[in-house]
A and B are shown apart, each in its own frame.
Chain A
Amino acid sequence: MSRLILPYAAPDIGQPASLFPDYRSTVARSPRQAPIAIPQTLTEVTGPTDWSRLMGPAMADLTIQHKGEPQGQRIVVTGRVLDENGRPVPNTVVEIWQANAAGRYIHAKDDWPAPLDPNFTGVGRVITDELGRYRYVTIRPGAYPWGNHKNAWRPAHIHLSLLGPAFATRLVTQMYFPDDPLIEIDPIANAVPMPYRQRMVSRFDIGTTVPNWALGYVFDIVLKGRDQTPFEDDHDDDH
Chain B
Amino acid sequence: MTTTTDLEARNAAPRQDSQDPSIFGQTPWQTVGPYFHYGLPWKGGADLVGRSDLGARPDLMPPEHFLLSGSNVSGTPAGEVIALAGCVYDADGKPIEDAMIEIWQANANGRYASPDDDRADIALDRHFVGFGRASTDRDGVYRFRTIRPGRVPGPGNSLQAPHVALSVFGRGLLKRLPTRLYFADGEGNETDPILALVPEARRHTLIAQRKPDGTWWLDINLAGENETVFFDL
By a beta-carbon cutoff of 8 Å, the part of chain A in contact with chain B is 1-3, 5, 8-18, 20, 23, 25-50, 53-57, 59, 65-66, 79, 84, 86, 95-97, 99, 105-110, 121-123, 159, 161, 165-168, 170-175, 178, 188-189, 191-192, 195-207, 218-224
Contacts and interface: CB of A to CB of B under 8 A. Distances in A.
Nearest to B196: A38
B197 A36 contact: yes
B191 interface: no
A64 B59 CA distance: 24
Nearest to A50: B129
Contacts of B155: 5, 39, 41
Contacts of B229: 33, 36
B67 A199 contact: no
B104 A37 contact: no
Q: Across the A-B interface, give the 3 residue pairs with the lowest CB-CB distance, nearest first.
A: A97-B39, A56-B69, A25-B172
- Please classify the interface of chain A as helix (H, G, I), strand (E, B), loop, or mixed, using the class held by over half of its residues: loop
Contacts of B45: 54
A40 to B, nearest CB: 7
Interface stretch (B78-86, B161-169, B207-215): B161-169
Nearest to B60: A108
Nearest to A211: B8
B204 interface: no
Interface of B: 10-12, 14-20, 23-40, 42, 45, 59-62, 64-65, 67-69, 72, 74, 90-92, 94, 96, 98, 102, 104, 106, 112-117, 129-131, 152-157, 160, 163, 165, 167, 169-178, 180, 193-194, 197-198, 222-223, 227-233
14 contacts: A12-B25, A15-B29, A18-B174, A28-B172, A31-B228, A44-B233, A106-B38, A107-B60, A110-B35, A199-B27, A201-B17, A201-B18, A202-B17, A203-B19
Contact of A172 (B30, B154, B222): B30
A199 B21 CA distance: 10
A40 B104 CA distance: 14
Contacts of A13: 25
Given A43-B163, A44-B233, A218-B19, A199 B25 contact: yes
B148 to A, nearest CB: 15
B72 A28 contact: no
Contacts of B117: 42, 46
Contact of B38 (A97, A166, A178): A97
B39 A96 contact: yes
A200 B222 contact: no
A33 B91 CA distance: 12
Given A28-B90, A28-B223, A199-B28, A59 B113 contact: no
B160 A223 contact: no
Nearest to A48: B131
A59 B67 contact: yes
B38 A79 contact: no
Contacts of B74: 53
B194 A18 contact: no
Name the residue among A43, A49, A53, A203 with the largest chain B CB count within 10 angstroms.
A43
Given A29-B173, A161-B32, A173-B27, 11 more contacts: A16-B174, A36-B198, A37-B231, A48-B104, A54-B45, A159-B30, A159-B39, A172-B31, A173-B30, A178-B15, A203-B14
A97 B40 contact: yes
Nearest to A198: B16
Contacts of A172: 29-32, 169, 175-176
A44 B172 CA distance: 24
Contacts of B34: 107, 109-110
A55 B129 CA distance: 12
A204 B116 contact: no
A199 B61 CA distance: 32
The residue in B24, B90, B104, B194 that gathers the most chain A C-beta atoms within 10 A of its C-beta is B104
A28 B173 CA distance: 10
A66 B63 CA distance: 13
B171 to A, nearest CB: 6
A200 B213 CA distance: 46
A203 B194 CA distance: 42
A167 B40 contact: no
A17 B23 contact: no
